[in-house]
């Protein structure tokens, strides 16, 4: 859904999963201040709606609780709990939400204070009842606990008026909204994940329509405000397995940085989302500001050692997506600094979970543990997600569900058999009968299609083509490999920072000859759009480009650089293809010689991953796009521990020989969208 503020559109978010709060109202005590400044927050999450026709959610309340922990924890942003109002489920009625802003928040805010407003729940639309100031004649709304078809929905105009009351007191406002931007985001019974949108029709049976996207929204009437929204660009804000994907990505990023700006956080959140969904978030407003005023003292994603003996370590902590069997945790001393806990070289040991869930686990030591004794109270940080989280879940749409787009039982059986027979696909894909990340169906011509969680068609395979089933298995394997690669995170410690240490730009390159449907042409950036290094590039189809990498002048050592291009159709290209990437000096740059061509699919976001590793931890990044069998031939003394740890990770193998990242490394991600040629 889109939220309009003033005369502009702002993407706004939905509510997330369930978790009953002990107090569902706003504290009545006096404001707690430090050095004359206070931090305030209003957190709203709704799972259970009063109106039966509004579908309940399964993760909104839990996500609002996790946001509360991030803001108030002593190892988080230190918001005083006395300054935080939480409204969930029946307490998040229209009257209570309006009163929480006008009667509780506004009187407590003073100039210079920090204010956070978070909403997780459904969004929808209402017909405007007066002269419309909207192009489509519709008000976008937040759906509250007691909302009905025509009443008690919080319209964009009303929300704007409430924000303006706060803005009159302080401009340091952050609005976080986790919801859909398009009424076509949900697909009925065949949804692969739950979209946070109340899809409805109006009294005249005219369905809710698609909404425009204003990617660079900065409300003129509210300077200084920051709006973080879960989805735009006709993508859906999704929740799955009891958590909202956008909120989870945001918490993951913000819990690991001692001091970060919204501008620095944006690419990290995008990358985290990309590994799980194709939804595209938007960060808008004064992004140069420090996140939540950066009053942060440590990581809030910490688990802790609760028991340890010679071989077995028990750990537990808050809800953590990605935890579970096969996950790896690094153990750090209880007195370790934030930067220490991001440096694999300073870990006491690495454990792999053999029994556990998203909040606790028991694991065995797979590396380290010899020189430092693991003690109760030591930190445990997730280094590699669980085996289940690394796999791609897929379902097959059946004729019995949808006669037009469903597959015959014989066809489904052939597809399943092809996956079972393909060792690579079988290892990385879980076929589900219920919700899944990808879905295989057919189009009107009977061609098999692979659909992602937002309903976008990633691949089409002609009906009756030779090897149709094996092609489906191979394409799904490629998508699974992309999920694993995008899930990677550098571990820079105090030395490197993802999306900052390596600054990546695209530079125009000539095409010296015809390449398929793309004619030879001179280098040009006509029609290109980007706001700088590591930012999204929009490039016209058939333009040539090269990739330039600059190592920050504050980096302590030179780094070897290499990369992988990931396309939304599953295709991948690792470079350089002739060995280890070049060593780039501190403050220096390197432009890769390969010329790449902007090719379809059009109007979707592809990603370029660029990696930097130290001299003693080289990696053949091109090999990580290959099969496990191909990589296996390269395992050995010529490859670093980092390469072999990543090989294990991608193959879903248990660590063979205790391979873990043993030195700090980093990566940057550049989103790339190819559009129709302007020539």
Q: Is 49 exposed, middle or buried (0-12, 13-18, 19+ CB in 10 A)?
A: buried
| 19-33, 71-85, 247-261, 491-505: least confident range | 19-33
Looking at domain 2-294, which of 3.30.70.1230, 3.30.70.890, 3.40.50.1460, 3.40.1210.10 is its CATH number?
3.40.50.1460
Query: 87 is written with which tokens?
Result: 């409204």
Query: Where are the domains positioned within the chain?
Result: 2-294, 303-389, 397-486, 502-675
Over residues 566-607, the pLDDT tens digits come to: 998 999 999 998 788 999 999 999 999 999 999 888 888 899
Query: 386 is written with which tokens?
Result: 């669980």
Provide the pLDDT for residue 53.
87
Provide the pLDDT for residue 178.
87
Q: Give pTM, 2 decimals.
A: 0.78
| 422-431, 562-571, 647-656: least confident range | 647-656
113: confidence class by pLDDT, cuts 50, 70, 90: very high
Q: Is the pLDDT of residue 166 over 50?
A: yes
Q: Is the pLDDT of residue 448 over 90?
A: yes
| 90-104, 268-282, 306-320, 488-502: least confident range | 268-282
* Calpha distance 234→135 (Å, rounded): 17
Q: Is the pLDDT of residue 296 over 70?
A: yes
Strands 114-120 and 429-431, sheet pairing: unpaired
Contact 139, 209 (CB under 8 A): no
> In sequence order, what are the beta bridge partners of 459?
450
With H, G, I as helix, E, B as strand and everything else as coil, classify residue 577: coil
Q: Which comes out higher in pLDDT, residue 239 or 395?
A: 395
Helix, strand, coil share (%) of the chain residues, nearest 5: 20, 30, 50
Q: Is the pLDDT of residue 255 over 50?
A: yes
Q: Which comes out higher in pLDDT, residue 80 or 295?
A: 80
Provide the pLDDT for residue 466.
84
Looking at domain 502-675, which of 2.60.40, 3.40.50, 2.70.50, 3.30.70 is its CATH number?
2.70.50
Cα torsion for 418, 424, 426, 431, to the nearest 10°?
Answer: -90
Q: Which comes out higher in pLDDT, residue 409 or 243?
A: 409
Under CATH, what is the fold of the domain 303-389? Thrombin, subunit H (2.40.10)
Provide the pLDDT for residue 18.
29
674: confidence class by pLDDT, cuts 50, 70, 90: very high
* Calpha distance 381→266 (Å, rounded): 22
Average pLDDT over residues 424-430: 91
With H, G, I as helix, E, B as strand and everything else as coil, classify residue 608: strand
CA distances in angstroms from 60 to 142, 228, 605, listed in the order given: 13, 16, 27
Q: Is the pLDDT of residue 257 over 50?
A: yes
Provide the pLDDT for residue 315.
97
Over residues 181-201, the pLDDT tens digits come to: 433 322 223 344 666 666 655
Cα angle at 534 between 533 and 537, to 5 degrees?
85
Provide the pLDDT for residue 147.
87
Cα torsion for 372, 378, 379, 384, to the nearest 10°?
Answer: 50
Closest by CA to 452, choosing from 274, 631, 577, is 274
Average pLDDT over residues 412-440: 91
Query: By percentage, how much of the chain surpasses pLDDT 90?
Result: 49
Over residues 433-444, the pLDDT tens digits come to: 887 889 999 999
Q: Is the pLDDT of residue 7 over 60?
A: no
Average pLDDT over residues 127-139: 52
Provide the pLDDT for residue 188.
26
> In sequence order, what are the beta bridge partners of 331?
349, 380
Which stretches does DSSP call E strand in 429-571?
A: 429-431, 438-442, 448-451, 457-461, 502-509, 537-540, 544-551, 559-566
Q: Is the pLDDT of residue 542 over 90?
A: yes
Residue with tokens 């990589």: 631
> In sequence order, what are the beta bridge partners of 175?
117, 227
Query: By percentage, how much of the chain surpasses pLDDT 70?
Result: 85
260: confidence class by pLDDT, cuts 50, 70, 90: confident
Average pLDDT over residues 464-492: 90
Closest by CA to 226, choosing from 296, 154, 280, 289, is 289
Average pLDDT over residues 500-524: 93
Q: Which comes out higher in pLDDT, residue 231 or 181?
A: 231
Q: Is 218 exposed, middle or buried (0-12, 13-18, 19+ CB in 10 A)?
A: middle
Cα 464 to chain centroid, rounded: 37
Provide the pLDDT for residue 636.
60
Residue 58: Cβ within 10 Å count: 19
Mean pLDDT, the chain, rounded, equals 83
Provide the pLDDT for residue 117.
96
332: confidence class by pLDDT, cuts 50, 70, 90: very high
């Amino acid at each position: 859904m889109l939220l309009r503020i003033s005369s502009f559109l702002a993407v706004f978010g939905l509510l997330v999963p369930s978790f009953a709060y002990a107090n569902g109202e706003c504290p009545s005590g006096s404001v707690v201040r430090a050095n004359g400044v206070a931090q305030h927050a209003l957190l709203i999450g709704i799972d259970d709606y009063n109106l039966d026709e509004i579908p309940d959610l399964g993760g909104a309340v839990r996500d609002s609780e996790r946001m509360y922990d991030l803001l108030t924890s002593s190892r988080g942003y230190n918001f005083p709990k006395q300054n935080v109002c939480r409204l969930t489920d029946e307490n998040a009625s229209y009257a209570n939400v309006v009163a929480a802003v006008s009667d509780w928040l506004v009187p407590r805010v003073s100039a210079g204070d920090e204010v956070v407003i978070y909403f997780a729940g459904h969004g929808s639309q209402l017909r405007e009842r007066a002269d419309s100031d909207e192009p489509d004649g519709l008000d976008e709304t937040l759906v509250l606990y007691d909302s009905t078809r025509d009443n008690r929905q919080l319209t964009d105009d009303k929300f704007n008026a409430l924000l303006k009351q706060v803005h009159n007191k302080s401009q340091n406002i952050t609005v976080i909204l986790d919801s859909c931007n398009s009424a076509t985001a949900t697909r009925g019974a065949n949804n692969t994940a739950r979209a946070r949108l109340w899809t409805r029709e109006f009294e005249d049976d005219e369905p809710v329509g698609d909404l425009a996207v204003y990617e660079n929204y900065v409300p003129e009437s509210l300077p200084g405000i920051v709006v973080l929204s879960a989805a735009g660009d006709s993508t859906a804000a999704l929740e799955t397995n009891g958590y909202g994907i956008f909120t989870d990505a945001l918490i993951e990023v913000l819990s690991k940085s001692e001091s970060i700006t919204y501008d620095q956080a944006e690419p990290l959140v995008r990358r985290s989302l990309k590994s799980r969904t194709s939804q595209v978030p938007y960060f808008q407003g004064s992004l140069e500001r420090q996140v939540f005023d950066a009053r942060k003292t440590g990581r809030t994603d910490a688990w802790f050692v609760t028991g340890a003996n010679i071989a077995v370590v028990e750990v537990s902590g808050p809800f953590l997506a990605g935890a579970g069997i096969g996950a790896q945790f690094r153990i750090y001393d209880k007195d370790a600094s934030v930067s220490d806990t991001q440096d694999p070289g300073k870990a006491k040991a690495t454990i792999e979970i053999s029994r556990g869930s998203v909040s606790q686990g028991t694991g065995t030591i797979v590396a380290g543990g010899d020189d430092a004794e693991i003690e109760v109270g030591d930190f445990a940080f997730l280094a590699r997600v669980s085996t289940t989280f690394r796999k791609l879940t897929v379902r097959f749409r059946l004729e019995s569900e949808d006669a037009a787009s469903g597959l015959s039982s014989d066809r489904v059986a052939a597809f399943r058999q092809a996956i079972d027979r393909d060792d690579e696909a079988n290892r990385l894909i879980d076929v589900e009968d219920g919700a899944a990340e990808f879905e295989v169906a057919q189009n009107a011509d009977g061609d098999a299609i692979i659909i992602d969680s937002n309903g976008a068609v990633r691949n089409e395979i002609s009906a009756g083509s030779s090897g149709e089933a094996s092609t489906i298995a191979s394409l799904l394997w490629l998508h699974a490999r992309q999920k694993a690669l995008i899930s990677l995170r550098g571990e820079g410690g105090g030395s490197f920072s993802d999306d900052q240490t390596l600054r990546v730009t695209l530079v125009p390159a000539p095409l010296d000859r015809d390449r398929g449907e793309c004619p030879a042409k001179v280098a040009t950036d006509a029609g290109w759009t980007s706001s700088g290094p590591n930012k999204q590039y929009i490039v016209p189809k058939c333009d040539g480009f090269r990739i330039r990498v600059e190592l920050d002048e504050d980096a302590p050592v030179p780094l070897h650089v290499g990369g992988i291009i990931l396309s939304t159709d599953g295709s991948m290209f690792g470079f350089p293809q002739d060995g280890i990437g070049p060593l780039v000096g501190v403050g220096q740059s390197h432009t890769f010689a390969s010329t790449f061509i902007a090719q379809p699919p059009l109007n979707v976001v592809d990603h370029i991953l660029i990696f930097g590793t130290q001299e003693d931890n080289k990696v053949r990044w091109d090999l990580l796009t290959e099969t496990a069998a191909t990589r296996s031939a390269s395992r050995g003394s010529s490859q670093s521990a980092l390469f072999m740890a990543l090989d294990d990770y991608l193959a879903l193998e248990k660590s063979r020989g205790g391979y873990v990242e043993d030195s700090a490394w980093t990566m940057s991600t550049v989103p790339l969208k190819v559009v129709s040629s302007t020539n």
